[in-house]
Amino acid sequence: MSTWNHRVLAHKSKNPNCEGEVYFQIHEVHYKKGKPTSYTENGVSVGGEGYAALQWVLSHMQECLTKPVLDVDNWPNEFKGEFILKNKAMKDEKVILASDKASASLQTVKGWVSSTGRFFGKDERAARYAGSTHKKCECGVVFERKFYTKCQECRNKADTERYDKFEFKEWDGETMLCLYGSDEYFSDADDIEYYLTDNDLEPSDLQLMHCKPNHFTEVTGERWDEIMPECSDGKLPSVLVDALEKLNKVIMDLPPASWCEGKFRTEYKRF
Ligand SMILES: [Zn+2]
């Protein structure tokens, strides 16, 4: 009894550009007593009298991908080549749970590991940086790298350059002063002298800045804009307006709440 079905056939290309290269095509293959005897000369195309017929052809063509590929050059034997492997991998796609053995395997992977034990894959630069403890400053000094890109001396130098750029203003002996870039404040000459003694410094060692006051800010009616009805035109109850006026008068008469670094540098001189 003769039967037929769709099968994948492996051909060797006769195209001069890629002669000998294997390509695959679906053909109709005919059988006698279950053995392949012949195949259609050309690969089959998908055709039929309607949607159902096309679907039938496609599903049978699909099915042939699960069967071994036949080798035209070694007819009617199976093709022993790469297509088989790929096909097999496709067929093997299945559900894998984390608990399944197949979900992972212990592999030896190669990559850069920092001295701190972190894996960086191919990124040698990052691994070397993470694994380093010291850094070479632009001046050549090797320093412990933690937060800075420059050594202490270079940072001091840069700080001084920045400080020197501020405009100089003579100190009147009363304005609050502070050390540049720090939380050290001085309200008078005594304060400065204490600091110099405590730290064994000379007046010329200090990078002093004038401070500017942080005043208590006035309270205005605008803070209630959002809750005022539209028809009020923002007009507050008169008792509240009066109270605000009194409050703001108190606020304006208050001394500064605190101080912060100003924009002028200065110096402290002993007389
Ligand atoms: Zn340096």
Write down the pLDDT at residue 85: 54
Whether this prediction's pTM lies above 0.85 is answered by no
**Interval between CA 142 and ligand 1 midpoint (Å):** 8
**Interval between CA 136 and ligand 1 midpoint (Å):** 8
Q: How many residues does the chain have?
A: 271
Which residues are bridge partners to 9 per DSSP? 25, 70
Distance CA 96, CA 110 (A): 26
pLDDT digits (tens, 9 = 90+) for 206-249: 999 999 999 999 999 888 888 888 887 778 899 999 999 999 99
**Interval between CA 148 and ligand 1 midpoint (Å):** 11
Write down the pLDDT at residue 87: 53
Distance CA 214, CA 220 (A): 18
Write down the pLDDT at residue 267: 96
Write down the pLDDT at residue 96: 84
Write down the pLDDT at residue 233: 78
pLDDT digits (tens, 9 = 90+) for 8-32: 999 888 877 777 788 899 999 999 8
- Sort 11 into a burial class: Cβ within 10 Å, 0-12 / 13-18 / 19+: middle
**Interval between CA 139 and ligand 1 midpoint (Å):** 4
Low-confidence ranges of the chain (pLDDT < 70): 1, 83-93
The domain ranges of the chain are 2-91, 110-165, 166-215+257-266, 221-253
**Interval between CA 209 and ligand 1 midpoint (Å):** 26
β-strands 22-32, 2-12 pairing? antiparallel
For 135, residues 6+ apart whose C-beta sits below 8 A from its C-beta are 142, 143, 144, 145, 149
**Interval between CA 156 and ligand 1 midpoint (Å):** 9
**Interval between CA 135 and ligand 1 midpoint (Å):** 10
Instruction: Give the angle subtended at the CA of 26 by the CAs of 24 and 28, to the nearest 5°.
Output: 140
Determine the distance from the C-alpha atom of residue 146 to the mean position of all C-alpha atoms in its chain, rounded to a whole number: 21
Please check whether residue 114 is in contact with residue 131, taking contact to mean a CB–CB distance below 8 angstroms: yes
**Interval between CA 147 and ligand 1 midpoint (Å):** 14
**Interval between CA 133 and ligand 1 midpoint (Å):** 16
